[in-house]
Structure 1
C-alpha cells in the first residue's frame, strides 16, 4: 500500500450474503429482492421470481474485496448499496425498514477492514423527513456518506423534498454519490442492455441538468459534496449544446441564474469512461480536480484493474493522476489529507 497518497475507489457496490425476508419484515407483498445461493461462491440476485443479476462472493466477502484491491493497487473502496435495494416506489414505512436492514448489513460487510472499506448508506428518499432521520442514524453508526438514486419516480433532483434532503447532507457534512437507476424500459431499450448502455448515461445527464435548470444548485450551498456516477453520463459531452440552448431559447431554457457550464465546479464525477479519449474530454470539461477514480466493482461493466485508465493515460500529468486517484476523493469524503492518510495504511488483522 502507498505511504503518502492512498488510491481511493469511490464507486463500488455490495450485496450482503443474505438478508431477512422483506415481505415478512415489511408486511407488504413483493416482488422483493432476495438472494438465491447457487454455490459457496455464486448466487443470483432475484426480484420476486425473476433473475435480476448473477453475483460472485466478492460482492459480500471482505477478504475477496481486499485481494482484488491489492491486485489493482487500490487502498480504499467506498462501498455503496446496489440500487435495486432503494425501494423508492414503496410506502415510506416499508422503505425505512429496508434501508435500516441494508445499512446495518453494509456495516457488517465493511467491518473486517474498517480502514479500507468505507460504507455509504441508502435512505427512503421518497420521504424527506424519514430520509434525513435514516441518514443521521447511519452517520452515527459509522457510514461516511450516502448513495441516492438519480430520481424518485417522476421527481428529479430539483424536487423540493430532495433539495431539502441534499441541504441536510450539506449540514451534516455527508458526501452524496448519485447513481442512475430505474431506467425506462421499451422494446427498443430492452435489446443489447441498452437500458444500461443508453438509458443510464441519459438518466445521469437529465439529473444534472435538473439541478441546473431547476434551480437546485442556485438553492444549495456550495460546500455540498456531490458526485455523479459513470463520468457524469452523457452530460459532459453536451455542455456546449446546453449553453447554446440557454442563450438561444431563454424563454424555455434560461431558468437557472447562469448557463449550464457555470455550474461545472459544483459537482464531481467518477472516472468510469473506459478509454483515453473519453477521459481527455471529461478532464477538459470538468477539470481534473472534479474527477475521482471509480470502478463499479464488482460488476462486469466496471473497470478492472481499477485505475488502469488513469495510470496509463497518455495525457494526464503526475499531479492530475494524483488528484484523480487520491486527493479529490479524500476531500469528497471530508477527510483531512495530512491527518488521515495514515489511517488508510493500517492493515486490519483480519485482512
Structure 2
C-alpha cells in the first residue's frame, strides 16, 4: 500500500485514497468512507524487515491489498491504479532485493489491456499477478478471461487468487465481521470450482494458480466433487477434481496445524507455500514455524515458494537475535 494515494474528483467515486493520521497510522478511504485502518508497515521497508526478523522470515512476496485490485473501476482508472501499485511494489523491492519479490496487478476488466500489462510486469521482474475470486461478477472460469491465462502461462507468470467482495454476505444477518473468517473460504471454493469446471487446469497445464487461505473450502469438498464426477457432474473436466486440484498451489494460512496437515494430504505438500497475510490483524505470526509443525517436508519453507514464483531467488538472510531451529525463506504478504 503506498503512503500517499490521493483522492481525485476526476476519478470514479469508488477510487481509493490513503489519509495519514496520528503517529504511524493511516486510513484507506473508499467512496468517502473508512475501508481499513493501516499503519506504516504497509510501505515502510525498514519496519517490515524488522518484523521479518521477529517472524523468522528472510523473504516476503509483496502483493496489493486485495480491495485495491478494483475490478469494478472504469478501465482507465484501474489501469492507472495498477501502475501506482506496481510502482510501489517495485520500489520496495529495490530497497531490499534480497528480501522481497513482487506480485502485481492488472486491469482484469479490460482483457486486452490486462494482457499488455502482463508483458510490462514480466519485463520489470514481477513473478505474477493477484486477482479477485471474480472480476466484478464475471466467474474466473469465463472464457473471456482465457487470454489472460494464456498470456500468463506463456510469460511464465503465476496468478494469485484472493477473495474479493464474496457472495453470500447478505446471509450473515448483519454480521459482516465474519466475512474474512467464514465467507472468504467459501468464496475461494466457488472461484476454484469455476476454474476446474471450465477446464482451466487442463487447457493451461503450465499455468501456476495459487489459492489463498489454503484453498478455502475446496480441499474439504473434493471427495464430494469426485463422487459427483463419477456420476457425470464433470463440466469440462476429463480427470477427477481431486487430481486436477493438485495442479493448483495453496498457501498455509489456516491457523490450525491439523487443517494444514489435511491440506497436505489432500493436494500434496509440494503444492503448499508459506503465507502470512502480513501486516493485517488476521496475519499468521511465525508462519514458517507454523507450517513446519504441521507438514513433514522442509520444502514448504522455501522450495515450494520458488516453484510457484517460477524461479529461485537469491535470498539475503536477515540478522536474527536468536536464531530458531529452522527459518523459512519466503512468505506471502499483502501490501
Candidates 240, 258, 267, aligned match of 2:239: 258
CA distance in 1 between partners of 2:228 and 2:235 (Å): 8
Candidates 316, 323, 328, aligned match of 1:345: 316
1:61-210 matches, within 5 Å, as 61-184=44-167, 185-186=169-170, 188=172, 190-191=174-175, 193-210=177-194
Structure 1 partner of 2:3:
17
Shift of 1:142: 3.3
Following TM superposition, the consecutive aligned residue runs of length 4 or more in structure 1 with deviations greater than 4 angstroms are none
- SS of the residue 2:281 aligns to: coil
- Are the counterparts in 2 of residues 297 and 303 from structure 1 also a CA contact under 8 Å? yes
Shift of 1:53: 0.9
Structure 2 partner of 1:9:
none
1:133 to 1:326, Cα distance in 2 relative to 1, 3 A: same
1:272 to 1:78, Cα distance in 2 relative to 1, 3 A: same
1:48 to 1:256, Cα distance in 2 relative to 1, 3 A: same
- SS of the residue 1:295 aligns to: strand
Query: How many equivalent residue pairs?
Result: 318
Does residue 297 of structure 1 match 2:315? Answer: no
- What RMSD, in angstroms, separates the aligned Cα atoms of the two structures? 1.9
Structure 2 partner of 1:5:
none
Structure 2 partner of 1:330:
306
1:281-292 matches, within 5 Å, as 281-292=262-273
Structure 2 partner of 1:46:
29
- Are the counterparts in 2 of residues 144 and 333 from structure 1 also a CA contact under 8 Å? yes
- Are the counterparts in 2 of residues 189 and 195 from structure 1 also a CA contact under 8 Å? no
Point out where structure 1 has 5 or more consecutive residues left out of the alignment.
1-14
Shift of 1:121: 0.8
- Are the counterparts in 1 of residues 72 and 136 from structure 2 also a CA contact under 8 Å? yes
Structure 2 partner of 1:58:
41
Structure 1 partner of 2:333:
none
Structure 2 partner of 1:4:
none
Structure 1, 31-40 or 272-281: larger mean CA deviation: 31-40
Query: TM-score, normalized by length of structure 2?
Result: 0.89
Point out where structure 2 has 5 or more consecutive residues left out of the alignment.
320-335
- Are the counterparts in 2 of residues 99 and 123 from structure 1 also a CA contact under 8 Å? yes
1:220-235 matches, within 5 Å, as 220=204, 222-235=205-218
Structure 1 partner of 2:255:
274
1:35 to 1:254, Cα distance in 2 relative to 1, 3 A: closer
- SS of the residue 1:125 aligns to: coil
Structure 1, 266-275 or 145-154: larger mean CA deviation: 145-154
Does residue 311 of structure 1 match 2:287? Answer: no
Structure 1, 208-217 or 230-239: larger mean CA deviation: 208-217
CA distance in 1 between partners of 2:120 and 2:114 (Å): 10
Residue deviations 1:110-142 (CA, integer Å, cap 9, x gap): 321122111211001111110011121122223
Query: TM-score, normalized by length of structure 1?
Result: 0.86
